[in-house]
């Protein structure tokens, strides 16, 4: 089996730690790794806009001595002629040693991995997950806070649609003594399946509607953009977009050891004046993303990162996923596979739930 990276929680914490250690070593001595992927090709299939994720993956492969192919706009590929995900994946994975995919629909990377002839890395699937941003965030925490445990981490903004939030909450739930402070409007709260994951791992979370009152409690503040592209209407987005804004005044309420992270791009949720505060680490964080992606590419190509089988559930009568943003509705050939969890069934692509 090839080592796809679809959901970080499919691989073990000791594997994440090994990737973070390797990323640290690469950062300290990048030239040692300069030819490590010579002769290898990475395909990048970006069905959705990206600056940092795509360019840091591409730079990572180039710095390792490998080559890159792919598209950053599906309208310049045969996708615009109506080619399905299965065929595009089959073809480009045949040209590549590793495939990196971003797609607006939830579960798209898992669907692609079902037919790919090389490992697939999920670079963001709709509002669902973003495991490589999480590796970036973990590396930043490890380097800047010195630990991944015993942290009180605040998340603020679009916690419903923010895939970086979902993946990071799941990952930090796997380390001891972390606590989560979730700041959002009622409409943009963390989805139930992520809350269940936090609780099942024995961690706690508290939900708030104001940033001021939580600032003094935090070791880390993870700000996020309101995900305009995931809203059903312009009006719904407008109602949410300027509710939370971090500025110099709010920074005064926080500890001197706080660090502020943001996966970027920023819109207005962090005032530009905060950039000069030494606790604002979001630009440095983006730079760590390149090193961690170098480590991930090397781990997947050389050390055969083992992941679980892609579909572990079952086809249940004629059940279909009720999440309209799930990939299974547009890619109709996909088996509708579900996991059972008590009296609900969980879609294996997007984690959408429904009563049996």
Residues that bind ligand NCD (CB under 6 A): 52-53, 124, 130, 133, 163-164, 225, 263-265
Interacting residues of 300 by C-beta distance below 8 A, sequence separation 6+ = 3, 5, 98, 119, 121
Least separation in angstroms between residue 251's CB and ligand NCD is 21
Judged by CB, which is closer to ligand NCD: 53, or 96? 53
CA distance 180 to 183: 10
Helices assigned H by DSSP within 119-273: 131-144, 163-172, 192-200, 234-240, 248-251
Nearer to ligand NCD, 44 or 164 (CB): 164
SS3 191: coil
Encoded tokens for 210: 């104001």
Q: Which candidate in 4, 63, 102, 110 is catalytic?
A: 102
Least CB distance to ligand NCD at residue 281 (A): 14
Between CA 88 and CA 116 the distance in angstroms is 9
Q: Do residues 338 and 314 touch, judged by C-beta distance below 8 A?
A: yes
Write down the least CB distance from residue 130 to ligand NCD, Å.
5
Q: Rounded to an integer, what distance in angstroms lies between the CA atom of residue 307 and that of residue 305? A: 6
Catalytic position from the list 24, 27, 52, 142: 52
Q: Look up 81 and say whether it is catalytic.
A: yes
Is the CB of 225 or the CB of 336 nearer to ligand NCD? Answer: 225
Which CB atom, from 34 or from 267, has the smaller least distance to ligand NCD? Answer: 267
Tokens of 277: 């505060």
Per annotation, catalytic residue among 103, 110, 130, 325: 130
CB of 161 to ligand NCD, least distance (A): 9
12 classed as catalytic: no
With respect to ligand NCD, which residue has the nearer C-beta, 40 or 110? 110
**CB 289, min distance to ligand NCD, A:** 7
Residue 63 annotated in active site? no
Computed over its alpha carbons, how large is the radius of gyration of the chain?
A: 20
Choice among 76, 81, 234, 332 that is catalytic? 81
Beta partners for 154? 181, 221
Let me know if 242 is exposed, middle or buried by CB neighbors in 10 A (0-12, 13-18, 19+). Answer: exposed
Residue 53 appears among annotated catalytic residues: yes
The rounded distance, in Å, linking the Cα atoms of 98 and 305 is 12
52 an active-site residue?
Answer: yes
Active-site residue set:
52-53, 81, 102, 130
């Amino acid at each position: 089996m090839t080592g796809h990276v679809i959901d970080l929680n499919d691989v073990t914490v000791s594997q994440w730690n090994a990737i973070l250690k390797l990323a640290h070593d690469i950062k300290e001595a990048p030239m040692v790794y300069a030819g490590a992927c010579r002769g290898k090709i990475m395909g990048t299939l970006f069905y959705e806009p990206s600056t940092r994720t795509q360019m840091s993956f591409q730079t990572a492969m180039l710095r390792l001595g490998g080559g890159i192919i792919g598209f950053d706009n599906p309208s310049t590929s045969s996708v615009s002629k109506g080619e399905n995900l299965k065929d595009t994946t089959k073809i480009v994975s045949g040209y590549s040693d590793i495939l990196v995919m971003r797609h607006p629909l939830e579960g798209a990377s898992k669907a692609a991995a079902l037919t790919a002839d090389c490992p697939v890395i999920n670079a963001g699937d709709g509002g669902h997950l973003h495991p490589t941003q999480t590796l970036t965030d973990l590396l930043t925490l490890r380097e800047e806070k010195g630990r991944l445990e015993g942290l009180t981490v605040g998340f603020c903004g679009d916690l419903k649609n923010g895939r970086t939030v979902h993946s990071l909450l799941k990952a930090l739930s796997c380390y001891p003594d972390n606590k989560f402070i979730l700041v959002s409007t009622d409409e943009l709260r963390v989805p139930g399946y992520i809350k269940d994951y936090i609780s099942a791992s024995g961690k706690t979370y508290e939900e708030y509607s104001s940033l001021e009152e939580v600032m003094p409690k935090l070791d880390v503040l993870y700000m996020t953009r309101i995900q305009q592209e995931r809203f059903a209407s312009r009006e719904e987005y407008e109602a949410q977009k300027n509710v939370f804004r971090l500025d110099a005044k709010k920074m005064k309420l926080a500890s001197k050891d706080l660090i502020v992270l943001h996966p970027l791009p920023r819109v207005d949720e962090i005032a530009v004046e905060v950039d000069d505060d030494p606790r604002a680490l979001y630009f440095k964080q983006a730079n760590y993303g390149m090193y961690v992606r170098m480590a991930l590419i090397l781990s997947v190509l050389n050390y055969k990162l083992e992941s679980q089988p892609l579909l572990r559930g079952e086809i249940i009568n004629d059940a279909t996923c009720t999440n309209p943003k799930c990939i299974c509705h547009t890619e109709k050939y996909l088996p509708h596979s579900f996991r059972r969890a008590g009296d609900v069934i969980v879609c294996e692509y997007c984690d959408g739930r429904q009563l049996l």
